[in-house]
Amino acid sequence: MRLTCPVCGERDRREFYYMGDAVALRRPDPEAGDAVWDDYLHNRDNPAGVTRDLWQHEGGCGAWIVVTRNTMTHEVLETALASDVKGSVG
Amino acid sequence: MRFSGWKVIKEGLTGNRGWSAHWRDAQPKPEYDMVIIGGGGHGLSTAYYLAKNHGMTNIAVLEKGYLGGGNVGRNTTIVRANYFLQGNSEFYSHSLKLWEGLEEDLNYNVMHSQRGLINLFHSDGQRDAFARRGNMMVNQGDDAILLDRDGVRKHLPYLDFEQTRFPIYGGLYHPRGGTARHDAVAWGYARGASDRGVDLVQNCEVTGIDIENGVVKGVQTTRGAIRAKKVGIIVAGRSGQVAAMAGRRLPIESHILQAFVTEGLKPVIDHVISFGMGHFYISQSDKGGLVFGGDLDFYASYAQRGNLPMKEHVMEAGMTLMPMIGKAKVLRSWGGIMDMTPDGSPIIDKMEGIDGLYIDCGWNYGGFKAVPASGWCMAHLMATDRPHEVAAKYRLDRFRTGIGIMDEEGTGSQHNLH
């Protein structure tokens, strides 16, 4: 699997650190309560198909990247800088 | 049909015409007392113990593919009870005891071989950690022996002891650990359940779970609706999708774990060995193949096949530890879908807020050895509505409350760290 870093271009998967579901871009309010924080920290949609997850180009420019890919085929559909995506997420 | 040495001799002399199918390929009925979703190791053992221990036989096991076609047929077959934390320790201890009586209980040869497991350590810190783990195992009533370097050399003379990068300081020896024939475990439980009246229904995919006013009424399947008073979800890597049918999200992320087997070789590796510095483990099957594996590919996947970087890493670790295997040809590699929890420990619990719905999942990369006790405890939970004492800590709400997190590896209770 190869990922395209929006800054550096297409690179080997080994240059990237996997953080998990891109849920991290929607951090709840500190006072949101147990259930909301449990959902944010632990519960996952875990889709068999298209998913969005967070990777860091730790072996390159260090950018955090939102990768849209298919968990059934390992096809990578889209990559974008997390800083850009975060602005468009409520 | 009962298996015995006498039967094998008789059939051998009379052309092997007296063998029959090991279980009934049942058609689904419109109603059961209980439905188990998932015909893998855990689902089949749950059905078996529901019938045997609790006298419940009006049960169906629904499998979307063929019996034992998932992770129970795709693992590295290791059986052990070397856990450290309370909650895990008593559970795996119970499971190992069930393994030790399993063949007699099932009248089925699961080829359980207690050849001994040696976890190698390569630093003073690792030695301390393993000494502590060994003491916990002994306190639990299981066996553990701390070997020094010469002790390891007696068992495993072929390791590369002279290397400077990862010198072998010793190993934690677990003599009762070993391997079993993974497919036979599924088949043995299937046969035992089927003989007691359980319907094993293959090619029957569950497409919906019927819930009315917070009470389970049954399931929708590709072979029609089936009513049931209780439903157990035991689908490993697919837990997320099935729980979603009941409107629930789970603390599960599905990851790929690869394993490998070489061509058949003459007996060379007598034990199960794990490398403490590279996440590599190996044993030799009775057919002669070296069966080995490593770590997860470390990203969410349902592909049942892995990527090249982890293959390379596993091969490198194997060559570092035992260069003698370098000329063995790898025949096959495959991947299983691991149901990873944040703390690396499993869940056997009721689905809170939905009467009659139960879940058994989160086996991470260690589900095979748990098959007997998981079924034993899930059957107990479904039949009595109370958790079994050795699985009492496998609660689903531990992530919400933070009480009872069982992070066996000590890496942190977070999805990408196990």
Identify the H or E element spanning B79: strand B78-79
What residue has token string 């000590």? B410
Listed in sequence order, the residues at least 6 apart from B6 whose beta carbon sits closer than 8 Å to its beta carbon are none
Instruction: Kindly determine whether residue A71 and residue B300, on different chains, have CB atoms separated by under 8 Å.
Output: yes
CA-based radius of gyration for chain A: 14
The whole-model pTM stands at 0.96
Instruction: Kindly determine whether residue B240 and residue A45, on different chains, have CB atoms separated by under 8 Å.
Output: yes
Q: What's the confidence (pLDDT) of residue A89?
A: 53
Q: Cβ of B279: how many Cβ atoms within 10 Å?
A: 15
Which tokens go with B243? Answer: 């729980």
Distance between B179 CA and the closest CA of chain A, angstroms: 30
* B359 neighbors B31 (Cβ within 8 angstroms): no
The full set of domains in chain A, from first to last, is: 2-25+48-87 (3.30.2270.10)
d(CA B328, CA B208): 47
* B357 neighbors B83 (Cβ within 8 angstroms): no
Give residue-wise pLDDT tens across range B226-251: 999 999 999 999 999 999 999 999 99
Which tokens go with B283? Answer: 């044993």
Listed in sequence order, the residues at least 6 apart from B199 whose beta carbon sits closer than 8 Å to its beta carbon are B24, B26, B27, B28, B29, B32, B59, B60, B61
Q: What's the confidence (pLDDT) of residue A88?
A: 60
The full set of domains in chain B, from first to last, is: 25-75+183-251+343-417 (3.50.50.60), 115-176+254-340 (3.30.9.10)
Q: With a cut of 50, list the residues of chain B below it in pLDDT.
A: none
Instruction: Kindly determine whether residue B342 and residue A38, on different chains, have CB atoms separated by under 8 Å.
Output: no
Burial class (CB in 10 A: 0-12, 13-18, 19+), B404: middle
Interface of A with B (CB under 8 A): 1, 12-14, 18-21, 34-35, 38-39, 41-48, 51, 53, 71-74
Q: What's the confidence (pLDDT) of residue B279?
A: 87
For residue B294, CA distances in Å to A64, B95, B231, B259, B341 come to 27, 23, 34, 7, 18
Q: What's the confidence (pLDDT) of residue B418?
A: 83
Instruction: Kindly determine whether residue B342 and residue A51, on different chains, have CB atoms separated by under 8 Å.
Output: no
Instruction: Kindly determine whether residue A71 and residue B249, on different chains, have CB atoms separated by under 8 Å.
Output: no
Size of interface A-B (CB pairs under 8 A): 71
Task: Give the mutation candidate from A42, A52, A65, A69 for the B interface (greatest B CB count, under 10 A).
Answer: A42
What residue has token string 């096949």? B305
CA-based radius of gyration for chain B: 21
Which tokens go with A84? Answer: 């850009």
φ, ψ of residue B329 to 5 degrees: the values are: -90, 130
φ, ψ of residue B168 to 5 degrees: the values are: -85, 115
d(CA B82, CA B289): 25
Q: What is the DSSP letter of B14?
A: T
User: HEC profile for B224-275?
Assistant: EEEEEEEEEECCHHHHHHHHHHCCCCECCEEEEEEEEEEEECCCCCCCEEEE
Phi-psi region of B173 (alpha: psi -120 to 50; beta: other; left: phi over 0): beta
Q: Chain A contacts of B252, Cβ < 8 Å?
A: 44, 46
Q: With a cut of 50, list the residues of chain A below it in pLDDT.
A: 90
Instruction: Kindly determine whether residue A72 and residue B251, on different chains, have CB atoms separated by under 8 Å.
Output: no
For the stretch B143-146, contacts whose Cβ atoms lie closer than 8 Å and that sit 24 or more positions apart, written own/partner, are B143/B174, B143/B175, B143/B176, B144/B82, B144/B172, B144/B173, B144/B174, B145/B172, B145/B173, B145/B174, B145/B175, B146/B170, B146/B172, B146/B173
Q: What's the confidence (pLDDT) of residue B305?
A: 87
Identify the H or E element spanning B9: helix B5-13
Which tokens go with B191? Answer: 């046969």
Chain B stretch 227-266, residues whose beta carbon is closer than 8 A to a beta carbon of chain A: 238-241, 244, 249-254
Q: What's the confidence (pLDDT) of residue B98?
A: 98
* B133 neighbors B82 (Cβ within 8 angstroms): yes
Q: Cβ of A21: how many Cβ atoms within 10 Å?
A: 20
Give residue-wise pLDDT tens across range B148-161: 999 999 999 999 99
Q: Taking all residues of chain B, what is their mean pLDDT, rounded to a whole number?
A: 96
